[in-house]
Every structure is written in structure tokens, then in C-alpha cells.
Structure 1
């Protein structure tokens, strides 16, 4: 009996691929310095935040961790294909019904491995988009550093040489630096929101397609199991001859057709919002861009505001930046003491 481990000999584009063309192969599938070993995972995670601008370190760590996730998914996909082959090999020596069904189950499991390989490619779209936010953060860091450096120089001069003519020059430079920083920060804010939405749209669309296709395969797999006669027999009794070969082929063909014709519009699982969530979401959308005159919803959802711990006063942002500035730590301490003494004298 011819045994195959792929559902389709020639891979014609599915309806979903026609509607949404597949991305290029994931960047994690090539150029591996450490091969498949876990040492590569550990190295990437431990060194991700050790280099680059402070502003981009946290997102750099996230990007590297996502690469580890993708490498793990690649490994799972390959091992599923190997499991599918081994299942079919084991079933060859069994009775006719078990042999046929395990062969067809091997086809389905092999298909899951191929779907996971395709999922990695789409997941990489999410990771690459997140990387673009990290790159913008890295480009904004110099303007922040320049503004902070000038501010510290002015404070130091005011403490040591209050009448120094350099103070006026530095204050003019600070005005220019603040204008430059203002543009950079606005760009970062805009791009962060745009790319964040795009990145997770890629991920959730890929997850939805992958999960729905897995559910399709699982459903047809259970239909295959019905072809096995599990009625107990007594010693010496002979089971009826197996006649499910055509049925098993038809089940595999139906599964193939379902996977090929799947599109997002026909997804079985729907995410339906509650009436309250829908009302609040619509109101938030309507009030977007209204500004300070918009409807205040904080009295309805206070737990999503300051009580959640996610809200940070603007006065604390600056201190948070200085906390990660390792290069100028000592200089910042001196300047901070100078500014405190200056405020004490003024008081």
C-alpha cells in the first residue's frame, strides 16, 4: 500500500493564501550560529538588553524572546512530522483497520507540522514589526540624551559659576534640543501606536487561522477513529474484514478541501463583545480626537486608570530615564546634589 506523509502532492495556493498572500520564510530559519541547541535561546535572552540605547533595551529583550519562541515552534513542527512518519511505520504491522487509520492519522499529523511551519512565517511578521518600534526607540535616545546633558551642564554651571556667560549659550542650545526632542518624541508616539496595532493584528490573524485549521484536522481525525472496530473479541474469534479504505480516503479528501477553502470570513469561532464592552468601545472611538472636551469615562472604569498601577505621573518620567543611564550615573548624582543645594539657598 502506498503510504504518503503529505496531504497534497502539489501545493496549490489555498483560498486563504490567495486572499492574504503568505509572507517570505521566517528569518529564524537560516543563519543559525548555535544550531538547534538551547544554548542559543539562553544566549539571546541573557544578552538582549545588554547592548544598544537604554530606551530600546526592554523591547530588544522582547524581540529576542520572541525569536526563541519561533525557534521552539519550528522544532515542534519538525518533530510533529517525524512523529507522523513513525506512527505510520508502526501501524504497518498492525491489523488492516489499524494500519489504514494510523496511516491516515499520520497524514493529518504531518499536515499539522506543515501548518506550524507556515505559522512561524506569519508570526515573524509580528516580530519584525515590533523590531521597527525598537529601531525608532533607539533613534530617539540621542535627542533625549542631548537634552539631558545640556540640562545637567546648565544646573552645574548655575551651582558653580552663577554668572558664567556660558549659561545663556547653553540655554539657547537647550531650547533647540527641546524642539528636536519634541519632534522625535511625537514621531515615536505615533509610530509606536501604528506599529503595535499592525504587529498584533499579524499575530492574532495568524493565530486564528492556525487554530481553526487545527480544529478542522482534529475533527476529521476523530471521524477516522470511527473506522476502527473496537468491539471486544474472545480468544480465537475473527474480526470482520476491514472495508474502510475508501471511507478513509474520502475523509482525508474532505479534510483537504476544508483546509483549502478556509478563509477568515468563514471562521467558526466568533469573538462577540458584551453590550457594555461594545458601548464603551464605541464611545471611546467617537471621542477620539475630541481632546479635553471629550466625555470623561474615568468614573465608570476607575480600575483601568490610576488604580491599575499602569498610570504614571509625568513628573516621574524623567526620573525613570535617569535610572537606566549607566554612563552618566556619577555626573547625575553630583548635579542632583547641586540642584538640591541651589533650591535650599533660594528658599
Structure 2
């Protein structure tokens, strides 16, 4: 291949890599026991759910299946680069325009293979984050098992020896085990939500960058194809001399510049929600925000009662209506009798279904 204008000549970090530093190489790129074959895929998938705690089996299988996906992506990247080299080798002995364009196309296809290899590294970030949820699930399983074991022992004793003193001891242990399990379950719930959002954010960000860059390369590849003169010629007619070397060089350089300067904020494709989706999503986010901030603040709805002369606690009513000699105030006594009469009428006539409704009678002091 003519590597003079290859995108792989430039090893300086791209704008995207400066904004979001690349992760370490994927853990699947080394330590292969079964290679790329389908045998290794099948063994990993089928054996994943056989061992380990019951709570973590399903996620363990998902993690192993994702490992198969990553191995497949690695194979695709490797074969893509091999294909790019072979394309350049094939076109080397063709006409000048075909030779030049196929060589440059090989450069672009090789770059796609490199991008796919980088995508595997970022995909591994997602997989490792999912594995952390699996590890938490595995750590919660013992507390569940202990609680269940104690409950089974209590049920067995109550059936065999209802008066056994061990029942009280086991019930106390069960209370402690339930408390420990409650804490573990809460931690699992919190961490699961945190990690699932982080994991798929890694995957979708990596997928978006990969697809955008592949689309950029595809666009410049179409420009390269325009340099090939596909006008039919008659037998014996010669084609004009090819003069597109500088143009193909410029296209490769433009492609390299576009890939180098790409950042997420400049992505060409954006997902736009409909009005209904946006409204429903915003309502959900507002609900989460409200719960996070401690619920609705109702303290300002009712003004505090600062006039202590017009309101007193119920247990102080007797003192309120007694004068210095201990006799009830006459006017207050009349008010109380009137209220008693009103209540008895409502109760006797069925009133509002036997319920007392309306504002309580205000007690007026003389």
C-alpha cells in the first residue's frame, strides 16, 4: 500500500480523545483459550449460568455473551484491515486511476478497521461496568441464603418442637438477618441503577462516535470514487491520462482532518423527541427531582398562628374558661351548650351520615 497519505501516519490524539481519553485495551484481546472459533463462544455462553450464586446467574450469562460480541468485533476489525490491504494489492497493477483510488480506498477501509478495534476497547468499559453489578448481586446472595436458612429452621422447630427454647433465639437471629439483608438489598438497588446508566452511557457514546466516524469515511470514500473515469470506450481507444493524484491526496487529508477534529458536540445526527415523548420524559425527570429534593414544601401554604389569645391547646381549654375563683364564664358556658345542641341534632337526625362536618365552633372568651 502507498502509506504516504495513510491516516495511520498520524498518531497524535484526536479532539475526541483529548475530550474523552481512550480506555485501556480490552481484556478480551489477550488470554484466549479457544481463539475466535464458535466453540469458545458456545462454551462461554452455556457454562456462564452453571456456576455461582443464583441471584447473579442471569447477569453472568449476559456478561459472557457480551464477551462473545467483543471477540466477534475484534475478528471483524482484523478481517477489515486484511481486506483493505488486499484491495490495495489487487488494484496495484490496474490502470492509474483504478490503482490510485483503490489504494486510497484501502487506506479508508483500514481506518474503519482501526476504529472498530478502538470501539472494542470502549465497549469493554460497558462490559466491565455491568460486571460490577454482577459482583454486587453475588455479594447479596449470602445474606438472602442466611435469612432463608434461619426461617426454615424456625418453621421446622415449630412443627417438630413447638416449645423449644431455640425458637426464641432463632427468631432474634432472624430479625438481625433481615436487617442485614435489608441493607444489602438497598445497596444492590442503588448500585444497579447507578451502574446500568453508566454502563449504557459508555456503550451509546462509543457507538455514536464510531458510527459518526464511519459515516465520515464513507462520505469521503464516495468522493474518491468520482475520480474514476467510467465513461465507456470503444475498442482501441485510449483513455485520457489520469491527473487525480493530488485530488485523491487532498481527499485523504480532508478525511483525516474531519476525523481528528470530530467531537460529540459536533455530531451530525441527533435524536429529536416528539412533543409527547418530551413532555412525558420531562414529567418523569421532574418527579425524580422532586423525590430527590425531599418532596413538596408545603410550609408556606398556611401562615403560622401567632395570636396566642385566640388559640390554645385542647388540654388548656378548662383553664382558659375559668376565672380567678375557678367558676366558668357564663357567656362561654352558653356557647358550649349551643354547640352541644347543634351536634346532638346532627347526630339524631342522621345529619351527614353521622359525621360532623364544617368548621368547629370558635370559643369566644368574655
Regarding TM over 0.5, the answer is yes
Q: Shift in Å at residue 36 of structure 1?
A: 2.3
Deviations 1:185-227 (A, max 9, x none): 0000000000000000000000000000000000000000000
Q: Which residue of 2 aligns with 1:198?
A: 198
Aligned partners of 2:136 and 2:229: how far apart in 1?
A: 62
Aligned partners of 1:255 and 1:285: how far apart in 2?
A: 40
Q: Which residue of 1 aligns with 2:87?
A: 87
Aligned partners of 1:3 and 1:188: how far apart in 2?
A: 52
Deviations 1:130-189 (A, max 9, x none): 000000000000000000111111111111211111111111000000000000000000
Q: Which residue of 2 aligns with 1:30?
A: 30
TM-score normalised to structure 2 length: 0.78
Q: Which residue of 2 aligns with 1:172?
A: 172
Q: Which residue of 1 aligns with 2:351?
A: none
Aligned partners of 1:252 and 1:114: how far apart in 2?
A: 16
* Contact persistence 2:6–2:252 (CA under 8 A): no
Change (3 A) 1:220 1:47: same
Q: Which residue of 2 aligns with 1:246?
A: 246
* Contact persistence 2:3–2:9 (CA under 8 A): no
Q: Shift in Å at residue 44 of structure 1?
A: 0.5
Higher helix content, 1 or 2: 1
State the SS of the aligned residue for 2:32.
coil
* Contact persistence 1:77–1:116 (CA under 8 A): yes
Instruction: Trace 1:1-347 onto structure 2 (pairs within 5 A).
Output: 2-3=2-3, 6-288=6-288, 290=290
Q: Which residue of 1 aligns with 2:362?
A: none
State the SS of the aligned residue for 2:272.
coil
State the SS of the aligned residue for 1:12.
coil
Q: Shift in Å at residue 282 of structure 1?
A: 1.1
Gaps in structure 1 of 5+ consecutive residues: 296-347
* Contact persistence 1:4–1:107 (CA under 8 A): no
Q: Shift in Å at residue 34 of structure 1?
A: 1.4
State the SS of the aligned residue for 1:8.
helix
Q: Which residue of 1 aligns with 2:308?
A: none
Q: Which residue of 2 aligns with 1:308?
A: none
Segments of 4+ in structure 1 off by > 3 A?
Answer: 1-6
Aligned partners of 2:91 and 2:3: how far apart in 1?
A: 11
Deviations 1:49-83 (A, max 9, x none): 11110000000000000000000000000000000
TM-score normalised to structure 1 length: 0.82
Aligned partners of 1:56 and 1:216: how far apart in 2?
A: 41
- Structure of higher CA gyration radius: 2
Aligned partners of 1:121 and 1:5: how far apart in 2?
A: 26
Aligned partners of 1:43 and 1:16: how far apart in 2?
A: 37
Aligned partners of 2:33 and 2:193: how far apart in 1?
A: 33
* Contact persistence 1:74–1:120 (CA under 8 A): yes
Aligned partners of 1:64 and 1:282: how far apart in 2?
A: 36
| Structure with bigger RCO (C-alpha 8 Å, 6+ apart) | 1
Aligned partners of 1:55 and 1:8: how far apart in 2?
A: 46
**What RMSD, in angstroms, separates the aligned Cα atoms of the two structures?**
1.6
